[in-house]
């Protein structure tokens, strides 16, 4: 993995053999296929397009994969800022950048705004300084909770990430002029910003299932969310009866299989309404509802307002 900069790009069928190396952060863009991973004895099933970020402590446990093709960028955090060594990040010295305001209920907001952390860093210096902004870009890697994060991507989102990934690939391979390192850093920063500053992140495959059967059905629901899915078609496809299917989903999700599907569709509908210029009719079809009136009725039950009102409300916030 030698390179003139601390960045390495790999395009593979299947996953890169470097995903568990302890010397780099990794960003993976999965363009096709599906796969199953295991985390602490539970299973996550992901289908493309999808993204994965892994820090240097990651233990990527692949259970199975089918027709996976992906692009992987490995980089050291020092490529973002030379102070960001693994040792410095692990020491916790930058954590105060996230907590510049002391939790004192007797202080007014104006007083909190000007207070210093440990007598060293002021609030405004933290959140407006370039050091904090660069550190925030690495938020997906430095979380204390998880060493691996997964995203399912809409087609439009995948296209954005793919453009950045391919731009990194081109500049690393061709180094066409004296500015290629600057462009590479810009494209990697753009990938990090797009992943970190995603305010609307409910529609992601975060679920972990202890039951591999539920995980398998959930992936099928996600992959075919725009199709006409019925309880009868599911029981036939997975060779179970209705009670067995619902009992398994109740145990894992506290809801029936079809309620889980409806919740998944409503979450997707919200994302389409708030992020893309599509009509309610188009979104209804993309979410598997051929009857727009029925879609509108279900959406209002979930969101407390009509799809049109929700779309206007979210656009007005931008």
Spatial distance between the Cα atoms of 286 and 272, rounded to a whole number of angstroms: 9
Same structural domain, 43 and 127: no
Structural domain range at position 261 = 212-317
133 and 163 co-located in one domain: no
In the predicted model, what is the mean pLDDT of residues 161-175? 95
Residue 204 lies in a domain: no
Question: What does the block give as tokens for 101?
Answer: 């305001």
What would the pLDDT profile of 254-288 be if each residue is shown by its tens digit? 999 999 999 989 988 988 888 778 899 999 999 99
Tens of pLDDT along 289-318? 999 999 999 999 998 999 999 988 877 665
Q: Same structural domain for residues 119 and 241? A: no
| Cα-based distances in Å from 12 to 16, 133, 238, 312 | 6, 32, 32, 42
Provide the token pair at 58.
Answer: 């990651």
pTM of the model: 0.66
The per-residue pLDDT for 98 is: 58
Q: For the chain, how many structural domains are there in total? A: 3
What does the block give as tokens for 317?
A: 């916030």
- Joined together, the tokens standing for residue 51 give 């993204």
With bands split at pLDDT 50, 70 and 90, how would you rate the model's confidence at 8?
A: very high
- Same domain for 148 and 72: yes
Q: What is the pLDDT of residues 203-240, one digit of tens each?
A: 445 566 778 888 889 888 888 899 999 999 999 999 99
DSSP class of 115: P
Strand partners, 39: 42
Least confident range of 4-8, 61-65, 71-75: 4-8
What CATH number has the domain bearing residue 187? 2.60.120.280
Decide if 13 is inside a domain: yes
Mean pLDDT, residues 41-64 taken together:
88
Is the same domain home to 148 and 72?
yes
Average pLDDT (29-53) is 87
Please answer whether residues 249 and 256 qualify as being in contact, where contact means their C-beta atoms are separated by less than 8 angstroms.
yes
Backbone phi, then psi, for 25, in 5-degree steps?
-85, 150
């Amino acid at each position: 993995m030698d390179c003139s900069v601390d960045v390495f790009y790999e395009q593979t069928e299947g996953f890169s053999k470097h995903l568990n190396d302890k010397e780099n952060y990794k960003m993976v863009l999965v363009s096709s296929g599906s796969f199953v991973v295991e985390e602490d004895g539970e299973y996550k099933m992901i289908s493309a397009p999808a993204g994965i970020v892994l820090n240097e402590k990651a233990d990527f446990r692949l259970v199975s994969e089918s027709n996976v093709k992906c692009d992987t960028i490995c980089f050291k955090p020092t490529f973002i800022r030379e102070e960001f060594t693994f040792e410095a990040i692990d020491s916790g010295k930058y954590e105060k950048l996230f907590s510049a305001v002391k939790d004192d209920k007797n202080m007014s907001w104006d007083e909190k705004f000007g207070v210093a952390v440990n007598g060293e860093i002021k609030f405004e210096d933290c959140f407006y300084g370039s050091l904090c902004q660069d550190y925030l870009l690495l938020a997906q890697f430095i979380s204390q909770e998880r060493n691996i994060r997964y995203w399912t991507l809409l087609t439009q989102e995948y296209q954005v990430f793919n453009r950045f990934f391919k731009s990194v690939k081109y500049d690393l391979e061709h180094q066409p002029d004296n500015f290629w390192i600057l462009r590479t850093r810009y494209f990697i920063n753009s990938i990090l910003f797009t992943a970190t500053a995603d305010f609307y992140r409910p529609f992601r495959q975060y679920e972990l299932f202890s039951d591999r059967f539920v995980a398998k059905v959930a992936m099928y629901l996600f992959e075919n969310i725009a199709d006409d899915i019925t309880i009868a078609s599911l029981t036939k496809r997975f060779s179970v009866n209705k009670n067995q299917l619902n009992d398994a989903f109740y145990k894992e999700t506290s809801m029936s299989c079809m309620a889980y599907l409806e919740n998944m569709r409503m979450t997707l509908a919200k994302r389409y309404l708030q992020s893309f210029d599509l009509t309610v009719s188009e979104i209804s079809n993309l979410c598997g509802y051929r009857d727009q009136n029925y879609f509108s009725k279900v959406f209002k039950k979930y969101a407390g307002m009509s799809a049109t009102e929700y779309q206007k409300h979210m656009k007005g916030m931008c």
